[in-house]
Homo-oligomer: A and B are copies of this chain.
Amino acid sequence: MPQIVHRTLACGLDLLVEPMPGAASAALTWKFPAGAAGDPESRQGESAVLNEFTARGAGGLTSREHSDALDRVGVERSSSVGVHHLTISATMLGSNVPAALPLFAAVARDPLLPAEALEPVQSLCVQAIEGIKDDPQHEAMIRLRERHVPAPFNRHGYGEIDAINAMTIDDVRRAWKTRCVPRGTIVALAGAVDVDQAAAILDASLTGWRGACGEPVETAPAQGGIHHVEQPSAQVHIGIACDAPREADEGAMLERLAVAVLSGGMSGRLFTEVREKRSLCYSVGASYGAERERGVLTIYSGTTPERAQETLDVCLAEMKRLEQGVTIEEFRRAVVGLKSRLVMQGESTSARAGAIARDFHRLGRARTLDEIARAVDELTLDGLNAYLARRNFGPFTVVSVGPTALRV
């Protein structure tokens, strides 16, 4: 059974490694404590700019040389900005981990941050913001979080156009130095990885990397309520959110089961009630995101303007109906589904690297799949129904994007 090793390296970062017997690949998740919530109020988009600079040269290599070096050892990678972290994700052959780690370490310790890259980077960040308009589903979910979660944890990570365009290269360099620091950085490796070797390589290549940064604090309460974004889209895109347990809360696993009854598989209540019985919409689904400070239960649905109000009404009713409990059949299906997905996750190095990094941030430690499976096994129908009886879903934040507004 895989075990997870945790080490705090000399520079202060937390390294988590899950060696997976039988895997030939390895996955890396590198989380800098430089997410959107940490952007200064007047400089929203700083993290988006830093994110682009992760691919603009490091360790004395130009942008081109650095990406050539990673491609030479077959490393596939991407990076993204979340609420708490700027995250680099990568997969590679396990045998190439020793060659790849120093290249990622160089990004952390010694990024090039070249002045001539600033304008192209700003331009790309602004284009990403403009592009949101062409994806009304994505826009609905962005605006939903903006209104449902307290600032600055409600940010989407794209930033603001004026703030991005106002940044100088000195701003970028200062931001990197103060925010992309080892204390608060989480590095997770899963798959064909040797723990001691990986730790030694990182220790050696991160010498001189120093610093810690503060945690973002709440600056404004959530707005909540119902909100419409007028857009000439063909469909109405509806997002619904309500508070849910944090990952550390006892209710987190029960909430996950409840959401599986609501939306897991084709026998989920939403799929049955909204799509199959009433054919109200082509796509509908619920998901539960459990973070360190809060959890959010969200539903998305895209439908025609004529069907939008009924779709919203049915979705809200189905969430409230959960409070009356679920049947033993629904409970069993949800447990089986949850446990099947754990097995799938155990066969994917990138899923495991992502999961143990997220766990460490949310819980201060990473759980093995066995531990999670045991926790699922301890859940009972009575326990779930008692939880749901006191759950009280709501208040709901609702955002719609499309030609017609809705009411709750």
Contact = CB atoms under 8 A, between A and B. Distances in A.
Contact of A265 (B67, B119, B303, B347): B67
A157 to B, nearest CB: 14
A267 B67 contact: yes
A196 interface: no
A22 interface: yes
A76 B340 contact: yes
**What bracket does the count of chain A residues touching chain B fall in?**
35 or more
A391 interface: no
A81 interface: no
Given A76-B265, A265-B76, A272-B64, A25 B343 contact: yes
Interface in A219-261: 232-235, 237
A22 B232 CA distance: 51
A333 B68 contact: yes
B131 A234 contact: yes
Nearest to A123: B279
Contact of A71 (B93, B232, B303, B333): B333
Given A67-B265, A340-B76, A128 B282 contact: yes
A371 interface: no
Contacts of A130: 234-235, 304
A344 interface: yes
Contact of A23 (B70, B93, B347): B347
A6 interface: no
A77 B340 contact: no
Given A63-B276, A72-B333, A133-B233, A22 B24 contact: no
A25 B347 contact: yes
A287 to B, nearest CB: 15
A293 interface: no
B71 A134 contact: no
Contacts of A96: 340
Interface string A344-386: 1011110000000000000000000000000000000000000
